[in-house]
Amino acid sequence: MSKLFTPVTLRGLTLRNRAVVAPMCQYSSIDGFANDWHFVHLGRFALGGFGLVILEASGVVAEGRISYGDLGIWKDEHIAPLARIVDFLHEHGSAAGIQLAHAGRKASTPVSWRGPADLETEEQRRAAGYEHWQPVAPSAQSHDPNDPDFQVPTALDAAGIKHVIDGFVAAAVRAEKAGFDTVEIHAAHGYLLNQFLSPLSNHRTDEYGGSLENRMRLVLEITEAVRAVWPADKPLLARLSVSDNAPGGWTPEDSVVLARELKARGVDAIDCSSGGLAQGRITSAAAYQVPFAKAVREGADIPTMAVGLLGDVAAAEAILENGEADFIALARGALDDPNWAAHAARVLDGDYALWPIQARRVAGRDQVLGIRD
C-alpha cells in the first residue's frame, strides 16, 4: 500500500489516509452560520475519499471574522448546523476538523465578488448579511496603508487579550459539542496570532511584544487554554506561516522554536504554510511550501502537513516517502477535483474502495476504457 493511503493515528483518532482538505474560506455565511452551501461543499470531499476535512477559518468572536461572510463558532446557535456537516463527514469515512481563527487587523474586509453596487440598499445589505466593524491587533497599524480595504486597528489591551483567549476556549468547547475530531489553531496568513508572532506587525513594549519569547506568548497561552478543554484523546493542530517571506520578519528558525513549544503544550501536528503580511513575497510553484514542512518536521520532531499546489499524485507520494511531511493538504486542488483522494488511490494502489458504494460503477467504466485491468 502507498504511504498516502496508509492509515495514520494521532492520539485517539485514526485517519483512513493522509490526504487532507485544507481550510478554505467560502465567504458564504450570514451571521457566522453554516448553510446548505457549506454542507454540500464540504460533504463532497468525504465522498471523494479524503481522510480529514478541515472547515474554513471560523471566527471565535464575531469581530474576529475576515469578512461578514465568514463562518463563526462564537455562539451556541452555531453548533447545530456544524454538527450536521460533521455527521455527514463521519458517515462517509472522513474525520472532521475546524480551524479556530481571529483575523485581527485583517478583519471586516469586503467579500471579493460583492462590490459597492451590490450593497447600496438596506435590502441588499440584509440579504448579504453585511456588517462592518472596527478590527483589533497587537499594534495600531494597518495591514496595508495603501489598501483602503484595511482599517487601522485598535491595539488590544489586557482585557482585549483576555477576550481573545476566552473566545478560543469557548470555540473549542463548541467544536467538541458539534462532534469535531480535531481543531486547528490558526496562527498563519497574517491574521491575529501571526500578527503577534511577527516583528513586522507586533510593535508592543509589554510582555506580548519585543523578544521572540514575548511575541510567542499569546499563541502559547491560547494553546494551553484550548488543550485544557479539548479532550485528551483528540488531536490538536496548529497552522503556522513558517516564514513571513519578508526581510526582518518571522523565519523558519523561529517556527521551529515555536513548534517545539507547541508540541510541549499538546499540539500534535503543524500545518505548514507561509506568508500573509503585506511585506511578504514568495513565488508560487508546485510544492513550493514543502521545504517549510520539512524544516519544522526535522527541527521540532513533530508531524507536519504540507500544503500549496500539491495536486500531482506521484509527487505527493514522494513527499511522504522522503520524510518531508506526514500529510498532504489540498485546497484549490480539492476544489478542482473533489475526488482527488479516490483518484489518487486508483493511481497508486489500483484501489476503488474509497468510492462510495453508490459510485463504484466507476471501476467498471475504467475497465471498459482500459484504465484498469
Domains of the chain plus CATH, in order, are 8-369 (3.20.20.70)
Helix (H, G, I), strand (E, B) or coil at 146: coil
pLDDT tens digits, one per residue of 46-55? 999 999 999 9
Q: Please state, in angstroms and rounded to a whole number, the distance separating the CA atoms of residues 239 and 184.
A: 7
* pLDDT reading at 193 higher than 80: yes
Q: Please state, in angstroms and rounded to a whole number, the distance separating the CA atoms of residues 30 and 112.
A: 16
Q: Please state, in angstroms and rounded to a whole number, the distance separating the CA atoms of residues 326 and 311.
A: 16
Question: H or E stretch including 183?
Answer: strand 182-187
- Supply the DSSP symbol for 331: S
* pLDDT reading at 369 higher than 70: yes
AA letter at 73: I
Identify the pLDDT of residue 364.
Answer: 86
Helix (H, G, I), strand (E, B) or coil at 102: coil
Identify the pLDDT of residue 39.
Answer: 98
**Among 191, 208, 288, 352, which one carries the catalytic annotation?**
191
- Supply the DSSP symbol for 86: H
Q: Please state, in angstroms and rounded to a whole number, the distance separating the CA atoms of residues 307 and 81.
A: 28
User: What residues does 64 pair with on adjacent strands?
Assistant: none
* pLDDT reading at 360 higher than 90: no
AA letter at 11: R
304-328: average pLDDT: 98
* pLDDT reading at 371 higher than 90: no
User: Rounded mean pLDDT of the chain?
Assistant: 97
* pLDDT reading at 24 higher than 90: yes
Task: Indicate the pLDDT class of residue 373, thresholds 50, 70 and 90.
Answer: low
Share of the chain above pLDDT 90, in %: 96
Helix (H, G, I), strand (E, B) or coil at 335: helix
* pLDDT reading at 208 higher than 90: yes
* pLDDT reading at 372 higher than 90: no
Q: For residue 130, indicate whether it is catalytic.
A: no
Tell me if the pTM is above 0.85: yes
pLDDT tens digits, one per residue of 112-151? 999 999 999 999 999 999 999 999 999 999 999 999 999 9
